[in-house]
Chains A and B, each alone.
Chain A
Amino acid sequence: MSPSFKRKIGFFAKSTKDVFSFFFSLAKKSRRTKIFFILSFLPVFMAFVVKFSQIFQLSRDIEGIYIFNNMIIAFYLQFLILILALFYGSSVTSEELEGKTLTYLTTRPVSKSAIIVGKYLAYTALIIFMVTLGVVFSFLVLNLSELRSVSLYKILFRDVAVLALGLMCYTAFFTFVGTILKKSIMFGLIFSFGWENVIQYFPGSTQKFTIVHYLKSLLPSVSRGRFSFLLFRLEPSSTGTSIFMLFLIAAVFIVLACVLFTYKEYILKD
């Protein structure tokens, strides 16, 4: 590696870190984060309701891990991570254009790629933290009586990891969409609740054109409960392939977003 290349990499890393800390501290105080934080804590509230009804014998005793599994699939995997990734990912570029603040960033000695990567990492870290907190609290509340069981923590760790990978991948995709399209939210909703929900059930290799295919491949094939049909998989990919593909998809879309953001001209309306 030549010294000039090393210097460039070092400068890019420093710029990315500076952009990251700028937007992480800005995003954590934003109104949008407060709203999504409440949304991501809905399962915790639900968990409390379930637990209280069980304690006071208002409902039949259902295993905590069973409710937790359904919650992960129905609420987090199929809904929350898509919504969070869509709103945070697409806003990496669009909020700068709509708020007309892009000029403040592009007249600083940081590359446009560092702006995209730094903001993407800041938003991804924030939403992963948000989701992890909700998942961990839900888990603790629902499994209050079995907290000594180590095998349960393995399930928690696996689920958090799958959701984090999902957030990483979807946010990268929506970051790219936000740099290319003006109306990225509409496209994102169609993609999230149309394409992802339908194509994953197509036979053959077509299902592999969805992100959710790789996420579901990381979860167990058999699941009990009312929402187990949502976990239905035709031909799951191997764990290794799935993890590789998720990282590859995230990397490809972030690189594309960087290239596009660097060379595309954004005109702020007066």
Chain B
Amino acid sequence: MTAIIQTQNLSKWYGNVLGLSDVTLEIEQGITGILGPNGAGKSTFLKLITGQIKSNIGSVTIMGQPVWNNYPQFSEIGFCPEQDSFYGEMTGWQFLTSLLRLYHLSSTEIEKKADKALEIVELSEDKNRAVRSYSRGMRQRLKVAQSIAHDPKIIILDEPLNGLDPLGRRKIIRLIKEYKGEGRTIVVSSHVLPEIEAMTNQIILIHQGKIFAQGDIHYIRDLIETHPHIISIRCSDPRQLAQKFIHHDFVLKVNFGLKKGVLLVETNSRDKFFGLLPSLFVENQIEVEEITSPDDNLQAVFDYLIGK
């Protein structure tokens, strides 16, 4: 698959403060989650790839074109900024139609697209109210609406779920997943791990302006060889299974879970562990109900990587 967004040695600093350091990566079609704590450099990265700011070193290209001052490209890009800022004297409808006018569309097209975007984010009923009277969640949805209204191929969303209630979050997450199905490229940032996890497995971890890891969550998890993987097994005889595991050098620790019949195994080699598992079950006639990896989520990966 060809990269839609490419950065090469991208670095940005604000005076003496480092914003982003030596970032080289490629973002392909689908959903890519940018994850990191507040101040990690996520917004700086998104501002750089949308040409809001200039890099001090390095380059950014979108579909092979440089992005800084390349305004025709923005016909294909939708950007939802993090800032909760609007032209407060406008209504939701005026805000959307005014911005759509900048795409040089006909009045009919503008109205059609604005209506559709407002319907998607469920703001149709409130479209004639002043934006300043909107709740935080409604403003957030309006920001998302302005980023998708012109039907872009690339959608870049900076903390799009901020200020949304659980229902609103679910709807936006569903929308983002739908867009992925339509073959678009979506880059979404968040400092809330389950949010990203709910949208994609493809992540970029940013911390202190640097890329800690990039790729599929499982691939990233495998990169961290020094940290043990925890695997939870719910079976008919956890005691017997524990006895069998303890003799292997790749099994570091065995614990019994709080729930009955659950065994927690720490291993430094997932491949060897899963290679052994079927034969142990068969030979000892142990019935397996569930095998899960409780730390195989973004929170765990993130904590390991930043050394928590």
Q: Are B52 and A103 in contact (CB-based, < 8 A)?
A: yes
Answer yes or no: B254 CB below 8 A from chain A CBs.
no
At the interface, yes or no: B66 with Cβ under 8 Å from chain A? no
Complex CA distance for A243 and B85, rounded to whole angstroms: 41
A97 CB, min distance to chain B CBs, angstroms: 11
Q: How far, in whole Å, are A112 and B54 apart by their CA atoms in the complex?
A: 15
Which residues of chain B from 97 to 122 have any CB-CB distance to chain A below 8 Å in the complex?
98-99, 101-104
Assembled-state Cα–Cα distance A203/B81 (Å): 54
Q: Which of A98-127 contact B (CB under 8 A)?
A: 99-101, 103-112
Q: Are B85 and A110 in contact (CB under 8 A)?
A: no
- Which of chain A's residues 235-267 have a Cβ closer than 8 Å to chain B? 262-263, 265, 267
Q: Is the CB of A107 within 8 A of B83?
A: no
CB distance from A179 to the nearest CB of B (A): 15
Structural contact, A18 and B101, CB atoms closer than 8 A:
yes
Is A29 part of the binding interface, using a Cβ–Cβ cutoff of 8 Å?
yes
Cβ of A148 under 8 Å from chain B: no
Residue with the greatest number of chain B CB neighbours at <10 A, chosen from A105, A262, A263, A270: A270
Q: Which residues of B contact A267 (CB under 8 A)?
A: 14, 53
Q: Decide if A75 is an interface residue (CB 8 Å cutoff).
A: no
B109 CB, min distance to chain A CBs, angstroms: 13
Contact A103 B83 (CB under 8 A): yes
Say how far B75's CB is from chain A's closest CB, in angstroms: 5
**In the complex, how many angstroms separate the beta carbon of B119 from the nearest chain A beta carbon?**
21
Q: Is B59 an interface residue (CB 8 A)?
A: no
- Of B86-94, B262-270, B277-285, the one contacting chain A is B86-94
Asked whether A111 lies within 8 Å of B71 as measured between CB atoms, the reply is yes
Enumerate chain B residues within 8 angstroms of A111, measured Cβ to Cβ.
71
B50 touches A107 (CB 8 A): yes
B117 → A minimal CB distance (Å): 14
A106 to B79, CA, bound (A): 10
Listed residue (B86, B90, B98) with the most chain A CB atoms within 10 angstroms of its CB:
B98
Set B78, B79, B102, B103: member contacting A19, Cβ < 8 A: B102
Q: Is the CB of B74 within 8 A of A107?
A: yes
Contact B51 A104 (CB under 8 A): no
Once the chains are docked, how many angstroms separate the CA of A119 from the CA of B85?
19
Asked if A26 contacts B51 (CB within 8 A), the reply is: no
Q: How many residues of A contact B (CB 8 A)?
A: 30
Please tell me if the beta carbons of B69 and A104 are within 8 angstroms of each other in the complex: no
CB distance from B206 to the nearest CB of A (A): 15
Known: A22-B101, A267-B14. A109 touches B89 (CB 8 A): no
Residue A49 is within 8 A (CB to CB) of chain B in the complex? no
The reply on B222 being an interface residue by CB < 8 A is: no
Known A100-B83, A108-B71, A267-B14; contact A29-B89, beta-carbon cutoff 8 A: yes
On whether A99 and B85 interact (CB within 8 A), knowing A107-B77, A109-B75, A112-B69, the answer reads yes
Given that A19-B102, A30-B89 are contacting pairs, would A109 and B146 also be in contact in the complex, using a CB cutoff of 8 Å?
A: no
A22-B102 in contact given A101-B85, A103-B79, A265-B54 (Cβ < 8 Å): yes
Interface presence of A59 (CB below 8 A): no
Expressed in whole angstroms, the Cα–Cα distance for A103 and B89 within the complex equals: 18
Q: Let me know if B89 and A108 touch, CB within 8 A.
A: no
Q: A17 to chain B: closest CB distance in Å?
A: 9
Among A106, A107, A263, residue most surrounded by chain B Cβ atoms (within 10 Å): A107
Pairwise interchain contact B90-A18, C-beta atoms closer than 8 A = no
The reply to whether B87 and A101 form a contact with Cβ atoms under 8 Å apart is: yes
Q: Please tell me if the beta carbons of B98 and A270 are within 8 angstroms of each other in the complex.
A: no
B39-69 contacts to A, CB under 8 A, are 43, 50-54, 69
Q: In the bound complex, what is the Cα–Cα distance between A106 and B53 (angstroms)?
A: 10
B82, CB-defined interface residue at 8 Å: yes
Does residue B275 face the partner (Cβ distance < 8 Å to A)? no
Contacting residues, chain B, for A107 (C-beta < 8 A): 50-52, 74, 77-79
Asked whether, in the complex, the Cβ of B83 is within 8 Å of the Cβ of A268, the reply is yes
Chain B, residue nearest A264 (CB): B54
Contact in complex: B83, A110 (CB < 8 Å): no
- With both chains docked as a complex, state the minimum distance between the C-beta of B46 and any C-beta of chain A, in angstroms: 10
**Out of A14, A18, A103, which one reaches B81, CB within 8 Å?**
A103
CA distance A105 to B71 in the complex (A): 10
- Minimal beta-carbon separation of A34 from chain B (angstroms): 11
- On A, residues with C-beta under 8 Å from B are 14-15, 18-19, 21-22, 25-26, 29-31, 99-101, 103-112, 262-263, 265, 267-268, 270
A-B pairs, 6 with minimum CB distance: A100-B85, A108-B102, A107-B79, A100-B83, A103-B81, A109-B74
Given contacts A103-B52, A104-B146, A109-B73, 15 further A-B contacts (CB under 8 A): A15-B102, A19-B102, A22-B101, A26-B98, A30-B89, A31-B89, A100-B85, A103-B81, A104-B81, A107-B50, A107-B52, A108-B103, A111-B71, A262-B69, A270-B43
| A–B Cβ pairs within 8 angstroms, 23 of them | A15-B102, A18-B101, A18-B102, A25-B94, A29-B89, A30-B89, A99-B85, A100-B85, A103-B79, A103-B81, A104-B81, A105-B102, A107-B78, A108-B102, A108-B103, A109-B71, A109-B74, A109-B75, A110-B71, A112-B69, A263-B69, A265-B54, A267-B14
